[in-house]
Structures are given as structure tokens and as C-alpha cells.
Amino acid sequence: MQKLWQDNIIFAEKLRKQLHAHPELSWQEKNTASLVRSQLDELDIPWRACADTGTVAWLNKEAKGAAIALRGDMDALPINEQTGKEWQSVNQGCMHACGHDGHTATLLATARWLKQFEKELPQPVVLIFQPAEEGFHGAREMIKDGALDNVGEIYGWHNWPALPYGTIACPDDIVMCGNGTFSMEFKGRGGHASQPELCADPLLAASAVNVALQQIVSRRIAPQATAVISVTQIHGGTAPTVIPETATLSGSIRVPDEETRQKINQQISEVATYTAAAYGVKSTIEHNMRYQATINHKAQATYARELWQSLYGEQSLNHGQALPIMASEDFSYYLQAIPGAFALIGSDDGEGYNVSCHSPHYDFNDRLIADVCRWFCQLAGLTDQSLPT
């Protein structure tokens, strides 16, 4: 059994590097989906396409009772990779900078092992290979297309470079915040850079708004609130000697709940409108909701956390990372629909795997594949007798 397990993990690690070298953006995961489906075919695991590039597969489908679902996301990011690894992305401007290659490979490793012991599963198991997590609502579309049909509970995870290797953060409530974006356009009066008094400078107004927005959290929202406002882009101008007619500003918010989202969006609009007016500039503001907070269900979170602890010891529980994480996840859609839990699992083993997600220097820690695969298999119902010692 030990050799079979090792062969499975080695296969998954090679597959992970293959996926890493050929990343695809959200809703463009055609080749990734084809690879996943071909692997399922080889294993004689039935599947169907879901939400175009997504795939839903079944094990022990005819068993009685509701299924347990395990999810892995597949999409990459529009980033130019700078890792210099042998398996670096060959697709310019596209990179697996969040570890979804590892999540997919881990779920396939889980599929291979569960298939060998399918008759020992106590209930049906659904494997969800999900596209478009990176801001494009893939989970929502998978649910619309029936991914959760006859599913009673669901589990997922994300590698987390800020946590020590093998440490799990899986609280009984909120684990990751909700998010949204905002964009603004400032319309002023352009002119010569030597005569700013004859202009209404939209860049100056945008700069003032940027500073003012930083005061919402602490001055209008309590500093204890789990909230962030980040301005990430300011654009304007075409030449060094020209004050432009327009400028744009955009950014992101992170919130723990929808009440806080509503307050922050209202205050962003007020700050932008009145600050711009003070500079003789008009502003228009657009808010876009992305994901709600990822909130675990207590029973499932406790089970997932205690199972991980039983496998990897007391030291594997998170005691240092402040929660919730301010990043966001569309796994929230699943947890709004059915009970389940989402975990962050540390990848920092002192070997360079502490580079944050979404960095051009990030790479997934392949050591996680074996540990998470074992955890997934036991979440699905396999006992110690069906796993190597």
C-alpha cells in the first residue's frame, strides 16, 4: 500500500508541474478541463461538464444518502511569472500564482486513491473541479448548473504561505472576508501646466480622495472592524506639461459582512463626491460587489479541524494567524448554499514557500499534496485501514 500511495503522490506532483507550466485564465480553462477529464476517464470515474470548463465527478454514486463534496479550483492569474523554475509558465502574462494548480492536482490524487477503495466509502462523494475562482464567480455558476445536487456538505482548502507548514486555520465562523471593488472618474478642466489656476485639476482631486479614503477605517468605521480600503490604481494625463481633463481611480474593499459593505460603499461615495467638489471637479462612482465573506459551519469546521489535528498533531492547529484573513474566496457561495468548511493550510516550511499568493515569485509547495490528499480521503469517509501508515 505504501508504494501505491507514493506512486500516486509522485504522479500528482508531476501533474501539478504540468498544470503550472500551462496556466489558463478564468473561464478559459479549456486545456485544464481536458486534462482533468482525461484523468477521470483513465480512472473510470464518471463525470460531466459543469458551467462550461468546470467538471463534476462522482464516486460511489449509487450509495444511499447525501454526498460529501470536495472542491479544487483550477484558474490562473494575469501575471508574468518570475520564479525561474523549470516548470515556469510558458504562457506569457498568465501564471498559477495562487496555487490552483496544486489544488487541482491534490483533488486528482484524492480521486485516484478513493477510486481504489470506492466500495469502502460510506456515502457518495462528489469531486468539484471549479473554474473562475479569481473574481469571476465560478462557484456561483457551478451551483447554478447543479454541482451541489444531492450534496449534503462540502469541504475545500487553500494553501497559505503566511502560515507555518502544515498548520490549519479552520475556524467555526468567518475564515475569509468578503470583497468588492470601486472605480471613480473625475472630470475637471484641463489646460497648461504653467497655469493651474485656470484649470480644475482632476489628478489633484483624485490624489486628495485617495488620502481621504484612508481615514474611513478608524474615523468613520471603528478600527476594530475587520475592514480594509485599498486604492490600487490612479490614471490620468498624456503629457508632462498638460493638466488633463479627466482622471480615474479604483480600488478594493474587504468586509466581514454585508452591513459593513453597505456603510463603506456609502462613505466612499460621500468622500469622493465632496472632496472632488472642493477642488472644482465632478466625480462619478461605481461599486461592484464580488464575494461575500466565507463563513464556515461550526459542525463541519470542527470535524475538519479535529481530523487534521488527529493526523498531524496538536502543533498543526493555528495559534498565531489572526482571523479572518482579509483575502476573499468564492467558496463562500457553497457555504451559503449547504453546510461545509473551508481551511487555510500553511505552506511555509523554510524552503522558500513563504512568498505570498499573487506574487510573480510564488510557487506551490508540493509537500502539501500528500498531507491534504490523506485529509480529503478521510473527510470522504475512508478509514486508517485504507491509507498507508
**According to the annotation, is 96 in a ligand binding site?**
no
d(CA 195, CA 341): 60
Would the annotation count 185 as a binding residue? no
Q: Are 76 and 96 in contact (CB under 8 A)?
A: yes
- Alpha-carbon distance values, 95 to 23, 122, 227 (Å): 6, 38, 28
98 labelled ligand-binding: yes
Other CB atoms within a 10 A radius of the CB of residue 322 amount to 9
Residue with cell 495562487: 98
Distance CA(73)–CA(18), nearest Å, equals: 16
Asked if residue 361 belongs to a known ligand binding site, the reply is no
Q: Please list, in sequence order, all residues whose beta carbon lies within 8 angstroms of the beta carbon of residue 6, skipping any fewer than 6 positions away.
A: none
Largest CA distance in the chain: 81
Phi-psi region of 257 (alpha: psi -120 to 50; beta: other; left: phi over 0): beta
Is 118 annotated as ligand-binding? Answer: no
Would you call 101 helix, strand, or coil by DSSP? helix
Residue carrying C-alpha cell 490612479: 234
- Contact, 251 vs 182, CB < 8 A? yes
Cis before 46 (ω within 30): no
Cβ distance 23 to 89 under 8 Å? Answer: yes
Helix 30-42 to helix 2-21 angle (10° resolution) is 160
How many angstroms separate the CA atoms of 384 and 77, rounded?
Answer: 37
Q: Is the Cβ–Cβ distance between 128 and 67 less than 8 Å?
A: no
d(CA 169, CA 359): 22
End-to-end CA distance of the chain: 9
**Residues in a beta bridge with 185:** 248, 284
Residue stretches of the annotated binding site: 98, 100, 134, 158, 358
Binding residues for Mn(2+): 98, 100, 134, 158, 358
